[in-house]
Structure 1
Amino acid sequence: MAPEGFTIFRSRLAAGRLLGERLATNLKGEIIVVTVSAGGFPVADSVAGIMHAVTVYLPTLYIPDPANPKKTIGAVNFGCAVTNDEGNELPGNYVYRQVQQLQQELKSNFVDQSAVFNKVLLNNQVVIVNDVVENAASVIAAIRLIRGYQPKLLTLATPVITVDAYMKIREEVDDIVALETVSPHMVAHAFNSDDYLEFIDEIPT
């Protein structure tokens, strides 16, 4: 158990700078940064600043577990839905209805990025950036959507990833760059502030 007050990183911005420096040693040329969550936005902003990259936001919503509203069973973006093991055990009609409802919600609340993706992702190096990768479904949904745009290289970059998520994602991307690989109970200790709230107004809608 971590000591009271312990955090792995001071802030998402600080973690993003460290992540950007790590990525800059491996990736050269034009980079497109994609993030899938509000929490990932300040990390992606720091990475993009260091790598002089374009940042694209891919909004993602989660499929609720009907038996436990605090849990999720998968994730949905504009063009792809992925369920986890628990979701695969539920009736298909429940999952289908949730996917349709959530994709409609995305279309109502966000600008569809398909045209932007088609312009900037084709034959480019793409880095998916998030603050913490614990729920593999959201990242895998992003990966599978982005693969359709034929990127030259697809990398996942994150300050913190759980061992389970790493194992599920590693075959889906060309590389994973993570500053820390942790057990699930350490995820709550990743950062000591909700600094992503400062970026809410900058997230495209």
Structure 2
Amino acid sequence: MFKDRTEAGQRLGTKLLRFKAQNPCVLALPRGGVPVGLEVAIMLDAPLDLIIVRKLGAPWQPELAIGAIVDGDPPQVVLNKDIIAQLGVSPEEIETVKKRQLAEIARRRATYLADRPRVQIEGRTAIIVDDGIATGATIRAAILATRAAHPRKIVLAVPVAPTDTVAMLSREADEVVCLETHDDFAALSLYYMDFRQLEDDEMRGLLARAPHAPPLPVTKH
């Protein structure tokens, strides 16, 4: 078991030190990924940013995901075309759901980061960090969206995850660094002694401690 997310981040950061010379940036999934990502960013002296993923729910059944939208400039959308076709969801309905979730993404970014500029991803080694993985759907959307920003390399880094999920995500990321994998994966909270919910003030405090670095100049493709 990990004592808490801070300890997990410190242990993860040790495994990621070999990327320090690759001008990395750390992209943490809120909320649980932020304290883990902060420790990684400090150890690598890398800028920390958020990557916010919101589920796109079916208009009349919000708990059923028809895709996901990921924070970015521009935001990236991942759609499950099979489910959309099966349910007969129209483009207009998808657009309405997208706008609602984009507003929530903007609210969260403003709440946690105020006016802090986005970290430049292009040309860097982008390290995506969370406090663990269950099904991998959210992380997969984050990887696909990060790929669109033209990083040099994508590294997925988590303390704990199911063995089969890590195998699946290894085909999406360039490299996966996971401290513990389990064939019989239980609830994520069972792998931490302290797995409490983080409040907004705590999030702001953690992000205020994150290293800052000048962005790379944008290169034309």
TM > 0.5: yes
Range that drifts further, 26-35 or 11-20: 26-35
In the alignment, the residues of structure 2 paired with residue 35 and residue 17 of structure 1 have an alpha-carbon distance, to the nearest angstrom, of 14
Range that drifts further, 135-144 or 43-52: 135-144
The 8 Å contact of residues 40 and 196 in structure 1, kept in 2 or not, is answered as no
Matched, 1:172 2:172: yes
CA drift of 1:138 comes to: 1.7
Structure 1 residue aligned with 2:213: none
| Partner residue of 2:204 out of 197, 201, 204 | 201
In the alignment, the residues of structure 1 paired with residue 185 and residue 19 of structure 2 have an alpha-carbon distance, to the nearest angstrom, of 28
Structure 2 residue aligned with 1:23: 16
The 8 Å contact of residues 31 and 125 in structure 1, kept in 2 or not, is answered as yes
Residues 92-107 of structure 1 aligned to structure 2 (within 5 Å) = 92-93=89-90, 97-107=96-106
Q: In the superposition, relative to structure 1, how do residues 132 and 201 fare at CA in structure 2: closer, same or farther (>3 Å)?
A: same
In the alignment, the residues of structure 2 paired with residue 33 and residue 95 of structure 1 have an alpha-carbon distance, to the nearest angstrom, of 30
CA drift of 1:57 comes to: 0.9
Q: In the superposition, relative to structure 1, how do residues 68 and 155 fare at CA in structure 2: closer, same or farther (>3 Å)?
A: same
Q: Would you say how many aligned residue pairs link Structure 1 and Structure 2?
A: 193
CA drift of 1:50 comes to: 1.1
Residues 1-205 of structure 1 aligned to structure 2 (within 5 Å) = 8-25=1-18, 27-64=20-57, 69=63, 74-78=67-71, 79-82=75-78, 87=83, 90-93=87-90, 97-111=96-110, 116-117=118-119, 120-182=120-182, 183-195=184-196, 197=198, 199-202=202-205
CA drift of 1:32 comes to: 0.3
Give the match's secondary structure for 1:157: strand
CA drift of 1:195 comes to: 5.0
Q: In the superposition, relative to structure 1, how do residues 24 and 109 fare at CA in structure 2: closer, same or farther (>3 Å)?
A: closer
Structure 2: runs of 5 or more not aligned:
208-221
TM-score (norm: length of structure 1): 0.77
Give the match's secondary structure for 2:118: helix
CA drift of 1:154 comes to: 0.9
Aligned-residue Cα RMSD (Å) equals 3.0
In the alignment, the residues of structure 2 paired with residue 140 and residue 108 of structure 1 have an alpha-carbon distance, to the nearest angstrom, of 23
Structure 2 residue aligned with 1:3: none
In the alignment, the residues of structure 2 paired with residue 53 and residue 155 of structure 1 have an alpha-carbon distance, to the nearest angstrom, of 14
Structure 1: runs of 5 or more not aligned:
1-7
Query: Per-residue CA shift, 1:63-82, capped at 9, x if unaligned?
Result: 4476684x756432232233
The 8 Å contact of residues 28 and 37 in structure 2, kept in 1 or not, is answered as yes
Identical aligned residues as a percent: 23
Range that drifts further, 94-103 or 141-150: 94-103
In the alignment, the residues of structure 1 paired with residue 167 and residue 16 of structure 2 have an alpha-carbon distance, to the nearest angstrom, of 21
- Structure 2 counterpart of 1:148, which letter? A
